[in-house]
Amino acid sequence: MFEILLILAAGIAIGRIGAKLTITARIGGAVKWTVCGLVGVLGYSIGADSTLAAELPEIGLTGIVLALAGTAGSIAGAMILMRATSRKGGGK
């Protein structure tokens, strides 16, 4: 967990330093495709897990709602981040 927070802090620092560079405006598209790819890989790993697929009837509606909410939250977060970065870059 510490490594993840360290990587996050490094990304924030690099973002603050690079905020004045023109390349920062181009990162929004890369972020969108990266997040979409990660969500796709997450969906694939859930679908490919035969143990999870076998236990879906036992997990019930709560598990499905949590999975959909997590996916929706990831997509919403990506969209918010994309809009925030495109405004700062002078784009759209």
Query: What are the residue boundaries of the structural domains of the chain, listed by start?
Result: 22-88
Indicate the burial class of 81 (C-beta count within 10 angstroms; 0-12, 13-18, 19 or more). Answer: middle
pLDDT at 34: 87
- CA dist 22 and 91 (Å) reads 11
Q: What is the CA radius of gyration of the chain?
A: 17
Chunked into runs of 10 residues, the chain (92 residues) has average pLDDT values of 84 77 69 87 85 79 87 94 76 50
Specify the pLDDT at position 24. Answer: 63
**pLDDT value at position 77?**
93
**What is the reported pLDDT for 47?**
81
| pLDDT recorded at residue 88 | 60
